[in-house]
Every structure is written in C-alpha cells, then in structure tokens.
Structure 1
Amino acid sequence: MRRRVAAAAALVLGLGLTVLAPGSASASTAVSTGHTINPATRFFVPPPADGSVQQIAGLVKSGDLKDAKLLTEMETVPSAVWLTGGTPAQVARQVRTTLAEAALERAEPVFVVYDIPGRDCSEYSAGGAADQAAYQSWIDAVASAVGRAHAMLLVEPDALGNEPSDCNLPTSAYPYTDAERTGEVGYAAGALEKDPNTSVYLDGTNAHWQAVGNITSRLLAAGVQQTQGFFLNVSNFRTNAESQDYGSWISDCIAMVTDPSHWAFGHPEYCASQYYPATVDDFSTWSQTTAWYTQNLGGAVPTTHYVVDTSRNGQGPNTMAAYGASPYDQSPATVAALMQGNWCNPTGAGLGVRPTASTGVPLLDADLWIKTPGQSDGQCDAAGGVRAWDYTAYTQPGWPTDAAAQAQFDPLWGQVDPAAGAWFPAQALQLVRLAAPKLG
C-alpha cells in the first residue's frame, strides 16, 4: 500500500514529507512540571487510508493533477492509528505491525484505543467489546503488544464525554452504567501506562462540549493523574485558540481541586468554564475565564498535559449561518438545528496545523492529526438527528422527494454520506483545498 501512494506521488510531481509547523500560543496560567514530550519527536505516517489511493489515481487519470497532488501530500502527513476492535490476538497483531512500521520510519506512533462497551451511544460509530471482561482482555493484549515501545495512546474518544447516562437510552437496549465506564477507562489507563515509554491521554472532549468542572470530575474519577493527561477536539473542528484555552483551564481546575490547601479542594463544580463567566459562542469573552483562573489558582501548580486534534480544524467550526441566506433560505430554527449537528461531516472544513510536538504552549504536548482526514463521521442525516432541511425552500434536481428518502439524505453534501470510517471523496477534496496552513 505504501508503494502505491509513492507511485501516485511520482505521478503528481513527487511530494516530500510534510514540514512540521508550530502551534499558536494562547494565554495560560499553566507552568509544566510534568514530563514533557521531546519537541523534536517525529510522528508516524501510517499507510494511506482505504479509498485515498483510488481517489488519487482517479484524479490523475482525469487530468486533475493539482487535487491529486494535494491529496497525496495529505496522505504523507503523520496521523493516528485507530484500534477499533477484533480479537485480542488480532489487535495485538495490528499494534506490533504498526510498531514495526514506525521503527522503520524512526517515528513514534499515535494509537487511538476505541473498543469500549457501548461505544458512541450505539450511534454512528457503534460497536465495542461485548462486556467489561472482554474489554479488559482486549486492553491487556494492546498493552502486551506495546511492551516497552515508545508510543502515544489516546484512550476512548467520547467515553467520558458521553457516559452511559448521557445517552438517554433505555437500559433494556443499553445496559451500561457510568461506574462501569469509569472503571473501564481507568483499567485501560492503568494497563497502558505501565510501559515507562508510553504517554497515555484520556478523553477531555472539546471546547464546545463538557464544562470544565464536569470533565475535570470525570477525568479525575478515571485516573487522569496517573497518566500523561487528556486529549481534546478529536473528530471535531474547534479552533486551536479555543482548545488551548480549554485545555489550560482543565489543567488549572485539576490542580486546584486536588490541592488540599486550596479553597476549591474536592469541588470541580467550583471551576470557571467556557460557559461562565465566558460565553461559549463568543470567544471574545473567554479572557474572562482565563482571568478567573489567574485570580484563583493561588499556589496550585498545574501539571496535567494535553494534546489537540488539529486534523480538520483549519477553518474552525461551521456556524451554518450561510444556509439561512439565499439560495438556501432555511429558517432560523433549521439553521440552529444544523449548527447542533455541525460536528458531523460539516461543509467548509479544512486541514489544520500539521502534527508537531514543538507547540510553544505550556502543557500542550502536541498538535496531532487524530481523526483520519477524509474519513466520514457517519451517515449524517435527519434520521440521526444531526441534519434538518426544508426541501420546499431549497432543493436540486435528483434530490429525494419523499420523506423517507429525505430522512437518509445529507442536503449539505447533496448525497447519502458514507458510513462512519469510510472514505468520503468530496469531503477529502474540501479538506485539502481549504487547508490552513495551505498544502503545497
């Protein structure tokens, strides 16, 4: 597979490896006293994603060398390897294969561990281990395969952001508990952190999701203090500035509520957040929350590190406001509903900052491409609750006309989206064309 993308690169004038760019700085009260990631770390470039080489070859055949070159360059940028299931023997084999490939590149792999029971509230990325015992066996296999290798391991995106009680599903269909979830994440963290050469991170959600105090409470319960820290923005589109503020606040909150001499000891709910005194959708107010931590941190010393997924945040989140104007003419209610689902295959997204451990930001260990760019978030539609559309206000020839088909359709892309994890050619092209910083 790697030879196939190399051949495609030759056809489109031979791209070199990406140049690592530093992340942008933001205000932070944090001063790191924990172990730091070597700023010169080279991250692993996995084999190209399924579907990418075929798209590149098709573009070359049609004479679109410019887009073929951009997609080829995207596939030469380091990104995470997702461990999403299989038997313990199968996932161990995947880990060992990746470690061997990374050794050839003299690079450090980033693994996403993603097999928790009841994964993704049984929605687009549903799946996971059958039960807690099966999950622990699977985690043990990952830990054994990693051995003493150098690696970053990101434990279960959404697992702490979407605890079972957040899913609002009947226990008859979704028989999982928050206590089980916390125990499973904690077990994974402990097993994977035993390797002295690993850096393990837990789910810190994103800057437009859990309030700082809420996610701090969940991280502490799952054992974040026994790990390197937490990860942010996985598969989302929040800007670097938002993520860096949010990450520093979580680290500050952890320091305050775990310091026995601090007035907030044991009370994460006292911590300021993106919701107060800041206003979550008005970034100009976020300095108020930063100021709150400056005034209230006292002698507490933040040491909890974090990483940020910059794979698709080059243009920031889509407010969907354009769909309220001509020619779409969608109502304010429809636009608001679209914005609520703007985490799912939004239009207008671009690749973000290239992976680097040289961030220049205290406690920010790395900017990483965690979500595989070009892969679908799922079949984003009205049936799944992430799309809304008035087809009487705007439609196109060939779009569905009956309610049942419209419920499965994505009007933002004018198609039925690929399943979660499948290659999405139209989205891949938009990501490379709107990359910030630009490719090429």
Structure 2
Amino acid sequence: MTNGTLQSTTPHLQRPRRRGRRPAVTASALAVALAVVGLTAVPATAAPHHPAPSPTTPWVDPDSTTVQAARTLSGQARDDAVLLGSYASATWITSGTPTEAKAEAQRVTTSAADDGAVPTIVVYDIPYRDCAQYSAGGAQDTAAYDAFVDGVAAGIGDRPAIVILEPDGLGIIPWNTDLGGNAEWCQPADVDRATAVADRYAQLNHAVDALKGGDRTRVYLDGTHSGWLGAGDIADRLIKAGVERADGFFLNASNYESTDHLVKYGTWISDCIELSTQSSWYQPSYCGSQYYPASPGDFSTWALTDQKYADDFASTGLTPDPAHQAHFVIDTSRNGVGPWTPPAGNGWPDAQVWCNPPDRGAGARPTLDPGVPLVDAYLWIKVPGESDGQCDRGTGDTDAAGRSTDPARGGNADPAAGAWFAQQARELVALASPPFPTPTCQVTYRATKVTPHTWAGAVTVRNSGTSTVRGWELTWSYTDGQRAVLGIGARVHQSGDDVTASAPRGAHALRPGATASFALAGTASTPPGDQPMLFRLDGKACSVR
C-alpha cells in the first residue's frame, strides 16, 4: 500500500488445539506406556511450587505461526524462528465465518488464561481492507463484518485480551477526504462513494462496542504512525471511530518508525483528542503535528509542537491528564533501527519503504509495562519474520514463475504476504536493538515410539553457554493433548499443557559444553502431533536441534 502498513493475511483459523484436555492416566494406560519404552515405574514426586505468571505478562503461543514455520526449517533459519517465537506476538484473525472467528478467539484467550498471561489479537476483516491491495480481503459488507466481530467478542468472553482493531482501518478509508479537504487515493469503483466513509465509521463503532462488552478486553483503534498522517487528521478519525469508548489507539502496526518518534506522535494525538473533546471551541484542525510547527525530517524541531500543545492547553483552560486521556500501544516488532532510506538514484517508480525493507532489526521486546506516560504496551503486532508481500518497488518486474521480484533484495522474489521470510528473520535477529541474548542451551527432542494413545521420547539438553548450570530446570508445553506420565533421568511434572523437567537429586552440575539426557513416557487422547519447539532452561530460551 502507498502510505499504510502491509499485514499478515495468513488465516489463523485452521489450527484446532485441544489445550487443557487431560486424558485420564489409568493403570492399564500407564502399563502400556511403560511397556512401549521398556521402563520400570518410579515413585511420583510432588510437583514443585511455581508462582502463577503475572496477569500483565504478554502471552507466548507455543503453537504460533512462527513455531509452525520453525518446524519446516533447519540450521540458522530454525534458530531464528525459534528465537523470535519465544517472544509474544499477536494472533491475527483475518477471515472465516463468525463461528470460526469465535472458536479462534476462544482458543487463544483460554490458552492464555491457563498460562496466566494476556494475548494480543488482531481483528483484520473490515470490508475493503488495504483498499484491495496486497492484503486485499475482508468481509463482504457491514452486516457480515458486524457478525464476524460479534463472533470474536463472544470467543473472548470475560477473559483478558488486547485487541488491535483493524490495522490501516483509519489510515486507508475508501473515498475519504482529509482535514484539508483533499480527496485521498483509495477510490474503489465498486464502492458507493456517498456512503463509504460513513460505513467505515459505523463498522468500527460497532466493533468497539461489541468488543468492549468484555470487561477485561482492551481495545485499540488504528493511529497510523509518525511517518504518515498528521496528529490532527488521525485524531479526528479516531474520535469519529469511537476512541472515547475504547482504550486508545495503536501505532506503527507492521511498520518501522522509531519508538522515540512514535511516543511523541502518540502523545500529540492523545492531547489533540483531549483538547478537541473537552473544549467547547477547539477542533482537530488546530492540532500541531510532525508537519507543523515541527519539521518532519528534523526531530530536533519536534519540541516546537510540544510547546504548541502546552500553549493550547493553557488557552483552553484545560490541563493534560494522562489518567483521563486516550492511551496507546506501539508495535516494536521491526523498528529497532528505524525506517529504511532507499538508496539514492535507485530509479524505482515506488520505493515501497513499508514492504520488506532490507537490513531492519527487531525493536523493544513485548511488555505491558513500558514505563512511559500514556503508553500501555510495546507489542509485536506484526509477526516478525512474516513477509509483507511480493514487493517490486513499482517496477512490475517478475521472475519466470510470474512472481514479483524485489530490486532492493537483489532481484529475488519475496514470499507472499504472511509467509515466512527466512532472510528477513535473519536480519531482524542480527540487527535487533536492543540485541537478543544469545541462547545458552540447545535441546534435542525426539519421539522414540508412538502408538495411538501412548508415546515415548528422548530429550537431551546441552549447556551451550559459558557458565555452569546447577540444579537445572527445563520447561516446554504440549499443544495436542499429550500427558507426560513419567520421566527417567529427570523429575518430570505436568500442569495443564505445561511440562517441567528438573535435574534428578544428586545430579552433577551441567558445565559448559556438557549434556544431560532423560527419557519420557506418556499418554494421549489421539496420536501425538508435532513436537514442541519452545524450550526454556532456567527461564532462558533454548535453540532446538
């Protein structure tokens, strides 16, 4: 898209998971499990006490699309996917029937609640999303969209969730006119220009009200980013979309703007909304922005806009009140080194700076406590490592297979939107700011024998760090109803889908380069599926071999 941010369009509705189902472990089932591996039962030990995760912990999906991609990769590409998948990223609900949308929202929020964590859900199905470009799709009409959103809301219920409502939903509105009276570029011929704008606002207002029916659902509307709309223009749209009944707005979805720029930009939007809604005469067109009195390309001038807002608050008799004003969240998934500047003299008709720009790095890790006034969270809204689409920089060039080729990446074809892009994932990891910690453990997990209702496995953990690990504890999760019954060579305990294997009493310390191995046996209600990929040794993410 021209000014917007391309989103993942991979449907997230075809991954049924039986999380929380606990097959009964009967004496006969245990006997069968032991017979499969030829082991003798050992006395059960009491499960160790672990405090419940904070309800302000962002949820990491152990079967996310990133984890699924990791299972298809090897070597460095797998390491990158596993590392990125060990951090919380959003689940996108992009298509399907209202019943399917409900089921996916229920799956995500139930699983997160079981883990004592908060998931981020992106609702991305508005009619004419992305103005029918790279991420084309969406509901057919307002009635279909309202039903889809109602399904998501019903699936969330009263469980905690953060909802990112329609990326680009306010940045790209069919047949819209900006605050300056200028007609915008999105003008689809098959949309009624007389009702298109009103329809968009009606759809978003309905969505806000439906989703806010859940007492613990936090809803954020599209606030674009600091390289796009002026603060007054987006504040005007947010007000019309119902931001006063939502929790606020989100910035930088799937984009690359620097966090310090976004914090200022978001603060101005919040101030503009407050001034425009609480004063009898102030209106969004009066609001300062990155374009005036500041200069967009010179961050040192942005203090001029700060001063304008201070003056405007004084002239209206109002006082900034962070407790009352609209808050915002920032997508930091890919903004570690800021936006991309195309090479001079490139000759491309459209540089598409938002589309798989090279040499970007991941930004701040997800947190629901960033410690910045008005900022509720840093989130990974865009799933880092998933492609923005088949970018061509406006050249129209294709390869022999008809795929658009990307001159910014040596003329190679980028993956389709939402598909895993190993090259970009490597860049995001290597250039991350702040840097990722280097994994200090490697895990090999192998299923050794599997029957329809029992299984056995072997696990080896290697200390790949430089410090000795004493009394180690390895954790992971199952996603298909498996139940670990016993461990040989480790004390194994399972709570829900979460498994903890700890060093046996009297075990030697795990020195750098050393390994520890143990065996598992268990039951399952159906044949076990994909192996787990996310392991943590003493709370730190491991690579998988």
Give the TM-score normalised by structure 1.
0.79
Per-residue CA deviations over 1:135-169 (Å, capped at 9, x if unaligned) read 11111111111111111111101010001123433
Distance in 2 (CA, whole Å) between partners of 1:173 and 1:260 is 36
Identity of aligned residues (%): 42
Tell which structure's C-alpha radius of gyration is larger.
2
Q: Does 1:413 align with 2:405?
A: no
1:292 alignment partner in structure 2 = 308
1:350 alignment partner in structure 2 = 361
1:311 alignment partner in structure 2 = 333
Q: Does 1:154 align with 2:176?
A: no
Does the aligned pair in 2 maintain the 1:313–1:350 contact within 8 Å?
Answer: yes
2:101 alignment partner in structure 1 = 91
Distance in 2 (CA, whole Å) between partners of 1:80 and 1:50 is 10
2:57 alignment partner in structure 1 = 42
Distance in 2 (CA, whole Å) between partners of 1:81 and 1:174 is 32
Distance in 2 (CA, whole Å) between partners of 1:59 and 1:438 is 22
Does the aligned pair in 1 maintain the 2:386–2:417 contact within 8 Å?
Answer: yes
Amino acid at match of 2:388: D
Aligned-pair Cα RMSD in Å: 2.6
Does the aligned pair in 1 maintain the 2:219–2:247 contact within 8 Å?
Answer: yes
Q: Does 1:367 align with 2:364?
A: no
Amino acid at match of 1:275: Y
**Runs (4+) off by over 2 Å:** 47-60, 67-71, 166-176
Q: What is the CA distance between 1:52 and its match in structure 2?
A: 5.2
Q: What is the CA distance between 1:363 and its match in structure 2?
A: 0.9
Does the aligned pair in 1 maintain the 2:55–2:117 contact within 8 Å?
Answer: no
Distance in 1 (CA, whole Å) between partners of 2:67 and 2:389 is 17
2:501 alignment partner in structure 1 = none
Distance in 1 (CA, whole Å) between partners of 2:148 and 2:129 is 15
Distance in 2 (CA, whole Å) between partners of 1:54 and 1:157 is 24
Q: Between 159-168 and 123-132, report the one with greater CA deviation.
A: 159-168
SS of residue in 1 equivalent to 2:92? strand
Q: What is the CA distance between 1:68 and its match in structure 2?
A: 4.2
Distance in 1 (CA, whole Å) between partners of 2:234 and 2:69 is 40
Distance in 1 (CA, whole Å) between partners of 2:234 and 2:338 is 22
Q: 1:159 to 1:186 in 2, by over 3 A?
A: same
Q: What is the CA distance between 1:268 and its match in structure 2?
A: 0.4
> Any gaps of 5 or more consecutive residues in structure 2?
1-14, 18-52, 176-183, 438-545
Q: 1:173 to 1:295 in 2, by over 3 A?
A: closer
Per-residue CA deviations over 1:196-241 (Å, capped at 9, x if unaligned) read 1111110000111111111011000011001110000000000100
2:224 alignment partner in structure 1 = 205
Larger RCO (CA under 8 A, 6+ residues apart): 1
Does the aligned pair in 2 maintain the 1:39–1:358 contact within 8 Å?
Answer: no
Q: What is the CA distance between 1:417 and its match in structure 2?
A: 1.3
Amino acid at match of 1:198: T
SS of residue in 2 equivalent to 1:366? strand
1:172 alignment partner in structure 2 = 190
Q: What is the CA distance between 1:55 and its match in structure 2?
A: 4.8
> Any gaps of 5 or more consecutive residues in structure 1?
4-37, 325-329, 390-398
Distance in 2 (CA, whole Å) between partners of 1:388 and 1:350 is 27
Does the aligned pair in 2 maintain the 1:70–1:439 contact within 8 Å?
Answer: no
SS of residue in 2 equivalent to 1:111? strand
More helix by share: 1
Distance in 2 (CA, whole Å) between partners of 1:358 and 1:51 is 24
2:297 alignment partner in structure 1 = 281
Distance in 2 (CA, whole Å) between partners of 1:48 and 1:300 is 46
Per-residue CA deviations over 1:99-128 (Å, capped at 9, x if unaligned) read 121123210111111000011100011000
Does the aligned pair in 2 maintain the 1:81–1:112 contact within 8 Å?
Answer: yes
Aligned counterparts, 1:115-130, within 5 A: 115-130=125-140
Q: What is the CA distance between 1:88 and its match in structure 2?
A: 0.6
Q: Between 278-287 and 148-157, report the one with greater CA deviation.
A: 278-287
Distance in 2 (CA, whole Å) between partners of 1:312 and 1:343 is 11
Q: What is the CA distance between 1:250 and its match in structure 2?
A: 0.3
SS of residue in 1 equivalent to 2:405? coil
Q: What is the CA distance between 1:269 and its match in structure 2?
A: 0.4
Distance in 2 (CA, whole Å) between partners of 1:50 and 1:305 is 29
Amino acid at match of 1:354: R
Q: What is the CA distance between 1:48 and its match in structure 2?
A: 4.7
Q: Number of paired residues?
A: 372
Does the aligned pair in 2 maintain the 1:40–1:357 contact within 8 Å?
Answer: no
Q: What is the CA distance between 1:71 and its match in structure 2?
A: 3.2
Distance in 2 (CA, whole Å) between partners of 1:57 and 1:418 is 15
Q: Which of 201, 214, 220 is the aligned partner of 2:233?
A: 214
Aligned counterparts, 1:134-153, within 5 A: 134-153=144-163
Does the aligned pair in 2 maintain the 1:40–1:358 contact within 8 Å?
Answer: no
